[in-house]
Structure 1
């Protein structure tokens, strides 16, 4: 896939601008660049510099990688943020003064960061999350008794968002420490739903260590400890645990357990009714369908027909978070590659890239499929070579 042309970048910027109902003059004012620059960039007459691209992305409320897919600034920003995050959590159990943000302002900042996480906008998270996490830690230590549970919930959510950077960019030790911070905050929240979310996220440790059987046992304990699904929120929390348990059971090659957990997740999704984000996790009928593909791919090539069957009948709607939609197409590409449908696999990878560029670029399975396609699939070879170079598969 060749590098984005100035025309392609300009068209993306213009499309985002129109979707936000901004004129070129308004976009220029909000981005603090000249009208002439916006006009030239949208026409494709000028390729925006990194600084201009970042300014336009901020004004359009997107990550710069969604405007220029080869943009490298996000990676630099993330890697620069990781040491800061490590320093912030080094002594999280030690009081360090009052937060810089008021509680309402902190809650809004955490909520915005969660939206960025669901949209796979990692560059924006990296710019904000160290200071947000530091304030969340300070708030837990200084909150009055009546606010202590809310402060702990905010900290758990901020730590989860920070972990999205650490885990996806390969900082496994930092990820494990952030999950420990989540568990510390969950204990202080005295909220079983926060504990359920923490158990969901903690599964990353078992995936990374390939300790799938132990991870499955941990998730099943979390399901048993979760509140009965008497409300929509409780049903979503339990359903998310079952979805995750189904995938890790697949990795453990336990098809019976995987199908059982999928059945439970499907029933709870019906109880919840509509797809939504509950406690920072997407859950509902659409998420369960995506996990049907995940489970089939986790179980291995002999289950490829299950994944392809889902994709023949259904595709994720645009209303789902970008990271989840991108994950669907990455896993579908793996199934299509196994089935010898290499042209389809490449198309799925391209959709994943268009949906969430950085999520796709950091996903090991996307890199693995791209490398395999480059070795064995000769059609559209130049485009595939460019894609493989972009994703780091060469």
Structure 2
């Protein structure tokens, strides 16, 4: 990038940052890059890579094209990466004669994928996932004993991160293949906690197929197979399964089962600190966030409960971005049903600020934005701009 172009890019970033009332420290933290990088880019001394540009754009809630003319949009970059993910897992059960690197080093890289997933940084995952999947498969096929058990866990984690991208961006067939691979890898860990985590993720396939009753049965079987709450890890794993079961029970219209599982999740959530456990966020705040999800899943008869929860509580900044934005998207849907389009629009804007990639690809966010625009067609330009951004027009 020429010096003049670097300077212009830096000025645009600084201008948007100030408009968002963010300091350079705020932007560095939100974009998961160093403060030195932000300072260097803003003064024109450094040029952001595609990866860094995407992270900064997500943190500023703008498309990369707003910063660098001609830059590819996040969704286009993700979709371009999906064939690479598919190719990486095509022959997952066939060993290849390729050298592998140290397992602890690979594990650190996979850990970054987990952090990006929780922060809803899907483009970053998509860019790195094909190589990390290939490396994880090579590692599994070239280890033995206890090291192989660890390699199977690393592979399971890598596949889950790739699946988050496929599922969120509508590649449901690829997502189903990744879930099958995840189950295959989890069985080789010989760890019931990892298997419980995969059962939690597998619920996506039931959501996608609208097979809610079957999904509830699968989760209840997983709960039965999960170790009892004898320590923090098993308590969190079991609680997360109950939390997930409550939501899918709600979508199947089974209010009694939803209440039962939510009550169980609440008891277990109160017994552990809020944190990511084997890549799944769980604790009292996560359960509270799922209360509104359950209420919305049960439909308009439970609308008041969803709105009452939001009046009493909103997710803290310490929750992962994906979970926070999910809360605001669910709330927006409830507010649309309640005839409160202005409040719903504000909720969608909060969701976008927290996790723009997650919000943009969420079908309920797009549906709510389209409904709000129909109800308030003559309103502010910002509503039309938002609807265009999310693809609702």
Using structure 2 for the length normalisation, give the TM-score.
0.89
Structure 2 residue 59 is matched with structure 1 residue 66: yes
Q: For residue 17 of structure 1, report the CA deviation from its aligned partner.
A: 2.5
Equivalent in the alignment of 1:303: 302
Deviation per CA, 1:285-319, whole angstroms, max 9, x where unpaired? 00001100000000011111111111101110001
Q: For residue 102 of structure 1, report the CA deviation from its aligned partner.
A: 1.5
Deviation per CA, 1:340-384, whole angstroms, max 9, x where unpaired? 111110000000000000100000000000000000124743211
- Contact between 1:213 and 1:252, CA under 8 Å: does it hold in 2? yes
Equivalent in the alignment of 1:239: 239
C-alpha distance in structure 1 between counterparts of 2:15 and 2:303, whole Å: 35
C-alpha distance in structure 1 between counterparts of 2:142 and 2:152, whole Å: 11
Q: Which moved more, 1:366-375 or 1:95-104?
A: 95-104
Q: For residue 29 of structure 1, report the CA deviation from its aligned partner.
A: 6.5
Q: For residue 75 of structure 1, report the CA deviation from its aligned partner.
A: 1.7
C-alpha distance in structure 1 between counterparts of 2:28 and 2:388, whole Å: 36
Structure 2 residue 16 is matched with structure 1 residue 9: yes
Aligned residues: 372
Structure 2 residue 361 is matched with structure 1 residue 362: yes
Equivalent in the alignment of 2:287: 288
Q: Which moved more, 1:13-22 or 1:157-166?
A: 13-22
C-alpha distance in structure 1 between counterparts of 2:56 and 2:41, whole Å: 21
C-alpha distance in structure 2 between counterparts of 1:248 and 1:153, whole Å: 26
Equivalent in the alignment of 1:224: 224
C-alpha distance in structure 2 between counterparts of 1:34 and 1:86, whole Å: 34
C-alpha distance in structure 1 between counterparts of 2:21 and 2:332, whole Å: 30
Equivalent in the alignment of 1:78: 78
Deviation per CA, 1:71-97, whole angstroms, max 9, x where unpaired? 353222211210001001001000013
Q: Which 5+ residue runs of structure 2 have no aligned equivalent?
A: 1-11, 65-71
Using structure 1 for the length normalisation, give the TM-score.
0.89
Relative contact order, higher structure (CA 8 A, sep 6+): 1
Q: For residue 270 of structure 1, report the CA deviation from its aligned partner.
A: 1.1
C-alpha distance in structure 2 between counterparts of 1:32 and 1:309, whole Å: 43
CA gap 1:338/1:13 in 2 versus in 1, 3 angstroms = closer
Q: For residue 18 of structure 1, report the CA deviation from its aligned partner.
A: 2.3
1:37-186 equivalent positions in 2, closer than 5 A = 37=44, 52=48, 54=50, 57=53, 62=55, 64-71=57-64, 72-186=72-186
Deviation per CA, 1:182-205, whole angstroms, max 9, x where unpaired? 000011001001110110000000
Deviation per CA, 1:253-309, whole angstroms, max 9, x where unpaired? 00000000000000001111x211001000000000110000000001111111111
- Contact between 2:293 and 2:330, CA under 8 Å: does it hold in 1? yes
Secondary structure at the counterpart of residue 264 of structure 1: helix
Q: CA RMSD, aligned part only?
A: 2.4
- Contact between 1:246 and 1:259, CA under 8 Å: does it hold in 2? yes
C-alpha distance in structure 2 between counterparts of 1:142 and 1:379, whole Å: 63
Q: Which moved more, 1:162-171 or 1:139-148?
A: 139-148
CA gap 1:364/1:35 in 2 versus in 1, 3 angstroms = closer
Secondary structure at the counterpart of residue 15 of structure 1: coil
Q: For residue 219 of structure 1, report the CA deviation from its aligned partner.
A: 0.4
- Contact between 1:98 and 1:139, CA under 8 Å: does it hold in 2? no
- Contact between 2:27 and 2:56, CA under 8 Å: does it hold in 1? no
Secondary structure at the counterpart of residue 271 of structure 2: helix
CA gap 1:304/1:137 in 2 versus in 1, 3 angstroms = same
C-alpha distance in structure 1 between counterparts of 2:337 and 2:104, whole Å: 50
Q: For residue 8 of structure 1, report the CA deviation from its aligned partner.
A: 5.0
Q: Which moved more, 1:161-170 or 1:374-383?
A: 374-383
C-alpha distance in structure 2 between counterparts of 1:55 and 1:244, whole Å: 32
- Contact between 2:213 and 2:252, CA under 8 Å: does it hold in 1? yes
